[in-house]
Structure 1
């Protein structure tokens, strides 16, 4: 007999750990963005009239020359005669020594970030499956059965993913039209620079992300809780979407809202189809399209 309570407790622990790690990752990305050097160059401002220099500019130049000459005498360092004492006020001002502070450690490279994602989410996924086996939670509660493991489910997932990606892009366009933007720091940090890196991203990393997140946020938090305790799946869909959005805090406040709405769409697809395969495929399609469309041209 399935031990629904024990499994749900384990899911809660995994969810808390995931949110803590997500928060830490968001903070690290913010610090990395702030530590990027900013250009201090500024364009020179000239007062030109019809391609020439204005009379006002010539007048100001002459005035500035006389002022600078006067300032030179005012600020000239006093001559020190040997044997005479030097007042503190007359002591020459020395430049401060250069800081010996060790610069912050460089951020993780893209391969290291991808390996970290694979390890962390893969580990959480294995723990989740191990707890499901230990507590005897049936696969059907997750939305996995012979009826859902079909080519038709894969096709439905692709269609759902394309629709959700289109809505996500439309929301992004509206946000930019309103002067808002969603940070792309995380996506850029995970974008490979080689063809082999792209193959690993599309074939290994993104499937693991989609598989684990759907297993947790849709399969466990909606399917298992509904099957074990009879809670409304639509209520669980809202709650799991809030948790999913908070787990993507690295995308900023607007990104959290957009991600929450995207998660709600995936949750609705799960409730309506009762298929984990559908939402895993849809999730993968959305993520893959995001990378290929926005970062793909740089892969060369």
Structure 2
């Protein structure tokens, strides 16, 4: 019999820790020595900004990527261990025996491509009307070497997609709906708010965009009951964003 109260305690620790880290990241990126925008919008600026313009020396790309791996890896470990210790069934998380069946993966691919297309349009509108710069974190994390790209696409982004979907969709929607007899649609809305707040380092506009993206992924999870689908979609959105805008 799953120990749902204890499981909720593990989830609370992870969620609070993630939100605190997001707040600290926001403070870092809003610091005076961090550029308000990492793009080359200054009149007369060269097409490729210098490293000093892209990021301060203390926030190199390897440092940022290592921080993501360590922090999200630690949170994911706590969540997985908590799930195992409290006996929460994998099916409640959207992980059925055929969790990585071909239809689920294909739906995830289609959803990821579609979300990336919508996100690209949103980025153009943001630039056109100067609504802010929610992509500064992404630009700061974009590698400059082949090894860096392998690490980003093969380690960092899979970890991010897997952990965030497990927490915000698999746990906060799937498991909580089963364990506490709550409406998955209510949980989809609440988890999307938490997902948005967890992306505070992307700025206010980034929070809004992340919340909208999170809700679409939440709807997809409720409809498909497949964690694999939303993990694939989430990974593709992030990967195509980096590849399409890599320097």
Q: TM-score, normalised by structure 2?
A: 0.88
2:79 maps to 128
Matched, 1:21 2:21: yes
| Native 8 Å contact 1:114 1:205 kept in 2 | yes
Matched, 1:167 2:168: no
Cα distance in 2 for partners of 1:161, 1:260 equals 16
SS in 1 for 2:34: helix
SS in 2 for 1:208: helix
Structure 1 unaligned spans of 5+: 37-41, 44-104
1:80 maps to none
Deviation string for 1:220-252 (max 9, x for gaps)?
Answer: 100010010111101100000000001111111
Deviation string for 1:92-127 (max 9, x for gaps)?
Answer: xxxxxxxxxxxxx94232112111111110111011
The CA deviation at 1:35 is 9.2
2:161 maps to 210
Cα distance in 1 for partners of 2:217, 2:95 equals 16
Cα distance in 2 for partners of 1:228, 1:177 equals 46
Structure showing greater Rg: 1
Deviation string for 1:133-183 (max 9, x for gaps)?
Answer: 000000001000123321221111111101111111222223333331333
Matched, 1:250 2:201: yes
Segment of structure 1 superposing worse, 199-208 or 168-177: 168-177
Matched, 1:287 2:238: yes
> Of the candidates 198, 221, 237, which is equivalent to residue 188 of structure 2?
237
Cα distance in 1 for partners of 2:182, 2:193 equals 17
Deviation string for 1:25-70 (max 9, x for gaps)?
Answer: 111112142599xxxxx99xxxxxxxxxxxxxxxxxxxxxxxxxxx
Cα distance in 1 for partners of 2:36, 2:193 equals 31
Cα distance in 2 for partners of 1:34, 1:158 equals 35
Structure 2 unaligned spans of 5+: 38-42, 45-55
SS in 1 for 2:22: helix
The CA deviation at 1:8 is 1.1
2:67 maps to 116
Q: Quick one: structure 1 residues 34 and 164, their matched pair in 2 at CA, closer, same or farther if it must change by over 3 Å?
A: closer
Matched, 1:7 2:7: yes
Q: TM-score, normalised by structure 1?
A: 0.73
| Native 8 Å contact 2:111 2:233 kept in 1 | yes
The CA deviation at 1:184 is 2.2
| Native 8 Å contact 1:172 1:181 kept in 2 | no
After TM superposition, the runs of 4+ consecutive aligned structure 1 residues lying more than 6 A away are none
Cα distance in 1 for partners of 2:127, 2:59 equals 29
Matched, 1:143 2:94: yes
Segment of structure 1 superposing worse, 150-159 or 199-208: 150-159
Q: CA RMSD in A?
A: 1.9
Matched, 1:273 2:224: yes
| Native 8 Å contact 2:176 2:182 kept in 1 | yes
1:33 maps to 34
